[in-house]
Amino acid sequence: MKTAILCSGGDCAGMNPALKYYVEASLAGGDTPHFIYRGFEGLINGDIREVSYPDVSGIVARGGTMIRSARSERFKDPAARAAAAANLADKGIIGLIVLGGDGSNRGLELLCEEHQLRGVGIPATIDNDVAGSDYCIGVDSALNAIGRCLDQIRDTAASFRRAFVVETMGRDSGYLALVSAISSGAEICLIPEIPFDLDSISRRMRREFDSGREYAIAVVSEATDASNQLVSIFQEELEIDSRLTVLGHIQRGGSPTAFDRRIAFEFAEAAVEALQDMSKQATFLCYRGAAIAEHPPGALGTLFPETLMERARLLAR
Ligand code: ADP
């Protein structure tokens, strides 16, 4: 079977490992993998190429995506999707994997419905906002990138009696901000999911600075639009020198973390397998259920999930 993969929407660390393991799993299963360059734009333009092992050699540690990503307004037009489907048909491709967020999944769903294609969506976005998935590829790398910045900002904040307001990405989701605040021990965190009261925060900070606090760090999600207000509160109400740091695109992650590489591997294997299922058109993969639980007594020992065991067997041959 001929299949293809593309990256859509914001890029993230972990897309490259997903591409590598897609190619490997496809070839191992007897499929012919293809790359589509620059997302749905490239699909409309017919920028499609058959690939093999040498094309993915050495990419596992690289951030971003080697096949590039794009946003494509045109893809919302049924005529553009018909052109895209015709390009796939020309090459004999019947299955398409898309790495992206909710918008990309919607595009894939429409393409599959309208043109009887098989599709699989893999959640890959630092925003961690794909419906039904606890985790999206790229989030851990983004959290680590933000964490390194926050640790460095703490060093300078502590040296200077300053309040730092650090704005994180995440579109409408506060996930990156909240987890970064917890991981870095920030004093304040503002996210769109939780109502906040800047007056109450101001009073708390006044009490804390009066009783010896030397510096403060606030992590603010871009979706709240509250970063500048918070800086003014520190500056004008509390008379604490305050700075705003907008982290911007460094959050996209750099080299993918071990966790993102492993999850990319599992998603890619599952996607290649899902494409074999003739009974379905579009399938949307998700990651769900990681939770703290109590270990039953007497049941010690590590059980790897079957996908990891299979890989272990391959790597031991
Ligand atoms: P994400 O996939 O991260 O949510 P976007 O919302 O920017 O990112 O969507 C990425 C791309 O998916 C868009 O540029 C467009 O090509 C496609 N897309 C999004 N929504 C739709 C839609 N309703 N119909 C068709 N294509 C869509």
> 138 and 187 in contact (C-beta within 8 Å)?
no
Is the CA virtual torsion 264, 265, 270, 275 positive or negative? positive
Q: Does the active-site annotation cover 260?
A: no
Share of the chain above pLDDT 90, in %: 86
Q: At what angle do helices 102-115 and 78-91 cross, to 10 degrees?
A: 70
Domain 2-138+256-294 has CATH 3.40.50.450: yes
Interval between CA 130 and ligand 1 midpoint (Å): 12
At residue 226, does pLDDT exceed 60?
yes
Among 6-10, 155-159, 175-179, name the one with the lowest average pLDDT. 155-159
Interval between CA 9 and ligand 1 midpoint (Å): 7
- DSSP 3-state of 202: helix
Residue limits of CATH 3.40.50.450 in the chain: 2-138+256-294
pLDDT band, very low/low/confident/very high, at 97 (cuts 50, 70, 90): very high
pLDDT band, very low/low/confident/very high, at 294 (cuts 50, 70, 90): confident
pLDDT band, very low/low/confident/very high, at 100 (cuts 50, 70, 90): very high
Residue limits of CATH 3.40.50.460 in the chain: 140-252
Looking at ligand 1, which residue's alpha carbon is closest to its atom 27? 107
Order across the sheet with 93-100: list the strands: 48-50, 32-36, 2-7, 93-100, 118-123, 282-284
Q: At what angle do helices 258-275 and 15-28 cross, to 10 degrees?
A: 40
**Which residue among 74, 104, 176 has the greatest number of ligand 1 atoms within 8 angstroms of its CB, and so is best to mutate?**
104
Looking at ligand 1, which residue's alpha carbon is closest to its atom 6? 103
Q: What lines the ligand 1 site, CB under 6 Å?
A: 8-10, 40, 71-72, 75-76, 100-104, 106-107, 110, 125
Cα–Cα distances in Å, from 218 out to 143, 171, 264, 291? 16, 18, 31, 27
Closest CA to 36 of 109, 106, 85: 85
Closest CA to 250 of 127, 100, 144: 144
Looking at ligand 1, which residue's alpha carbon is closest to its atom 10? 9
281 versus 1: the higher-pLDDT residue is: 1
User: 29-51 pLDDT, tens per residue?
Assistant: 999 999 999 999 999 999 999 99
What pLDDT does residue 89 have?
A: 98
What pLDDT does residue 307 have?
A: 81
> CB atoms < 10 A from the CB of 38, how many?
20
67/72 Cα distance (integer angstroms):
15
Q: At what angle do helices 258-275 and 306-315 cross, to 10 degrees?
A: 100
Q: How confident is the prediction for the chain on average, in pLDDT?
A: 94
Reduced DSSP (H G I as helix, E B as strand, rest coil) percent helix, strand, coil of the chain, to 5: 45, 15, 35
At residue 302, does pLDDT exceed 80?
no
At residue 295, does pLDDT exceed 80?
no
Multiple choice CATH, 140-252, 1.10.1740.10, 3.40.50.460, 1.10.10.350, 3.40.190.10: 3.40.50.460
What pLDDT does residue 312 have?
A: 78
Interval between CA 127 and ligand 1 midpoint (Å): 14
Active-site entry in 11, 127, 140, 260? 127
Interval between CA 153 and ligand 1 midpoint (Å): 35
